[in-house]
Amino acid sequence: MTAVTAGTAAEATMETTAEGFEAAFDAAVAADERIEPRDWMPEAYRASLVRQIAQHAHSEIIGMQPEANWISRAPSLRRKAILMAKVQDEAGHGLYLYSAAETLGTGREELLDKLHTGRQKYSSIFNYPTLTWADVGAIGWLVDGAAITNQVPLCRCSYGPYARAMVRICKEESFHQRQGYELLLALSNGTPAQHEMAQDAVNRWWWPSLMMFGPPDDESAHSAQSMAWKIKRHSNDELRQRFVDICVPQAEALGLALPDPDLRWNEERGRHDFGAIDWAEFREVLKGNGPCNEQRITQRRRAHEEGAWVRDAAAAYATKRRAGSVPAEDGVRMMEATA
Amino acid sequence: MNDAPVTAPPRAAALALGDDALVLSHRLGEWAGHAPVLEEEVALANIALDLLGQARILLSLVGDEDELAYLREERAFRNLQLVEQPNGDFAQTIARQLYFSTYQLFLYRQLAAGDSAFTGLAAKAVKEVAYHQDHAAHWTLRLGDGTAESHERMARACGALWRYTGEMFEPVEGLEVDWRALEDSWRESVAGVLERATLTLPDGPRSGAWRAGAGRQGLHTEPFGPMLAEMQHLHRSHPGASW
């Protein structure tokens, strides 16, 4: 009997403690305090963040592909340099975000494996092809624009490491977005063929960009909980509306039309009304049936598989150094040996 | 490059150095999205950007950078055959980087120490190039002294590109360089890195695909034509357009 009593007491204490942790967590979120890696957090909060941050990281990595597709064909050296720098930044953003995810107790290897096996997703937008040079501008203006609209509120996300990563990423994304806009402006004001190229790209990227905000609020599985936890600050539809309202005057300034006959100013709402999104297409792309899903994941997997021997070599080399069989380099630059 | 050269830089020399940087930058840009590890996506793009920056300065010394990059044909390019070689596997890319960045390092050190139209540019570039050489040397060590497979691949890559190393030391008109000293420093440095990487300096001929110095005379290898076709096609499709 004694043992049972003791056990019950211990269980009761644990329960009280867990309740205490949960109350402290809820209070911290309510007070807009940041949750940090060593703080207690509900398992579902942790899982939800891992899912979102991993998907965000994967999007940066897969998102390199449609733009890298034009590096070797960029039409001027200045544009080529801008594009290379942008794709490099995206790899860097992926690295920040994998690091943020790792503070939640997962690892980059594990996350990449989930990406490669389709168990974790990336943004649907990167399953569309870049068919002309103008697509590079449309991605900068619309895709990065939508990403920024989504991500600026994440700078106030309740999870500290994610929020801090977003501050850095948003600064660079804003820069990319302006460059994309400027690229499109140059085309729009260029020759008739260039103008047509720009319009065609906007026609093809507009709707997929609106889909980046996710399903409508009444169909969004994770939204309510994410908002309660202050991971998300605004609903999908609210952010989408905000994006449309930002883009309309920008499109006018560019001299390019947005491909939506139902798009018009609504005096009463003080916002733009816009046409219906093709959610059937969105679901198909999410299911893996978009124009480039297969190609994107195959290229990513191939880069990883073909790079395995390189990673193995680096690991073997590091092991030899640790074992002390060869003198450690200790960060001594090779240049000192060859200078 | 704030300090403008007093005399116009020798065209042949600026084109030779500019084309080397332009073409190698292009090849490295082809790695984007294909690198073995994310850190190398960043590193290879970083090196490509440095080289593109050097190319833009050098080409601008003799004309319009875009006209020179996009409207010259294969026979008018003056780059080394080494830098136009396809990326191959990561070992081949690293071997190409080791050979070329070591060459650029000692070449720019000499130019930075001299007094010519290239002094200012070389002084700036030598810092970037030292980083490139460091990156290549460290990967040569990891691959050479990593696993049996990586050792084998690195040895093969160093051997395959060896024939293109002779042309680096053919004098270029307008470059005041001690070519003999450059070659000696280069050989000593590369041999030292390879030795530490448990590899040996290849000993085959170094005459290039035609003869030593062919690239500098516009005689290139076959992979270069398709590379240029890809690089130039959009620019050439819209004559007179600005981007």
pLDDT for residue B201 is more than 60: yes
Cα–Cα–Cα angle for B163, B167, B172, nearest 5°? 175
Closest residue to B143, CB basis, from A302, A313, A337: A313
Q: What is the pLDDT of residues A103-113, one digit of tens each?
A: 999 999 999 99
Closest residue to B32, CB basis, from A71, A95, A312: A71
Inside any domain, residue B226 = yes
pLDDT band, residue B204 (cuts 50/70/90):
confident
CB spacing of A307 vs B35 below 8 angstroms: yes
Q: Which of residues 135-154 of B touch A (CB under 8 A)?
A: 137-138, 141-143, 145-147, 149-150, 153
Can you give the pLDDT at residue A106? 96
pLDDT for residue A222 is more than 90: no
Distance from CA of A261 to the nearest CA of B (A): 30
**Distances, alpha carbon A224 to alpha carbons A33, A41, A172, A214, A282, in Å:** 20, 18, 29, 13, 21
Can you give the pLDDT at residue B209? 64
Inside any domain, residue A150 = yes
Can you give the pLDDT at residue B2? 47
Inside any domain, residue A174 = yes
**Chain centroid, CA A292 distance in Å:** 18
Longest dimension (CA), chain A: 90
Q: Which residues of A touch B42 (CB under 8 A)?
A: 88, 91-92, 95
pLDDT for residue B223 is more than 70: yes
Q: What is the pLDDT of residues B107-124, one digit of tens each?
A: 999 999 999 999 999 999
Can you give the pLDDT at residue B213? 64
Can you give the pLDDT at residue A330? 45
Can you give the pLDDT at residue B104? 98
Inside any domain, residue A15 = no
Inside any domain, residue A213 = yes
CB spacing of A80 vs B52 below 8 angstroms: yes
Inside any domain, residue B26 = yes
CB spacing of A193 vs B42 below 8 angstroms: no
pLDDT for residue B6 is more than 90: no
Q: What is the CATH number of the domain that holds A199?
A: 1.20.1260.10
- How many domains in chain A? 1
| Closest A-chain CA to B187 | A338
Inside any domain, residue A168 = yes
Mean pLDDT of A241-250: 98
Q: Count Cβ neighbours within 10 Å for each residue of B92-105 and write b for 16 or more, e otherwise.
A: bbbbbbbbbbbbbb
Mean pLDDT of A53-73: 98
Ranking A202-216, A240-254, B210-224 by mean pLDDT, the lowest is B210-224
Cβ atoms of residues B147 and B28 within 8 Å: no
Strands A264-266 and A271-273: antiparallel
- How many domains in chain B? 1
At A95, is the secondary structure helix, strand, or coil?
A: helix
Inside any domain, residue A202 = yes
Q: Which helix (H) or strand (E) holds A146?
A: helix A144-151
Question: Sign (positive/negative) of CA torsion A326, A330, A335, A338?
Answer: negative
Q: Which helix (H) or strand (E) holds A265?
A: strand A264-266
Mean pLDDT of A56-75: 98
CB spacing of A303 vs B34 below 8 angstroms: yes
Q: What is the pLDDT of residues A260-301, one digit of tens each?
A: 999 999 999 999 999 999 999 999 999 999 999 999 999 999
Q: Which residues of A touch B33 (CB under 8 A)?
A: 64-65, 68, 87, 299, 303
Domain of residue A233: give its range: 24-306
pLDDT for residue A327 is more than 70: no
Q: What is the CATH number of the domain that holds B178?
A: 1.20.1260.10
Can you give the pLDDT at residue A223? 85
pLDDT band, residue B214 (cuts 50/70/90):
confident
pLDDT for residue A193 is more than 90: yes
Mean pLDDT of A30-40: 96
Helices assigned H by DSSP within chain B: 11-29, 38-62, 65-70, 81-84, 90-113, 119-144, 148-162, 179-196, 224-237
Inside any domain, residue A334 = no
Q: CA torsion, points A21, A32, A107, A94, in degrees to nearest 10?
A: 180
pLDDT for residue A3 is more than 50: no
Angstrom distance (rounded) from CA A148 to CA A163: 13
Q: What is the ipTM of this complex?
A: 0.95
Nearest residue to A115 via CA among A170, A49, A66, A50? A50
Task: Enter the pTM of the model.
Answer: 0.92
Inside any domain, residue B6 = no
pLDDT for residue A336 is more than 60: no
pLDDT band, residue B133 (cuts 50/70/90):
very high
Euclidean distance between the first and final Cα of chain A, in Å?
79
Percent of chain B with pLDDT over 90: 91
Task: Specify the amino acid at residue A252.
Answer: E
Domain of residue B189: give its range: 11-237
Angstrom distance (rounded) from CA A39 to CA A240: 33
Can you give the pLDDT at residue A335? 45
pLDDT band, residue A17 (cuts 50/70/90):
confident
Q: What is the pLDDT of residues B31-56, one digit of tens each?
A: 999 999 999 999 999 999 999 999 99
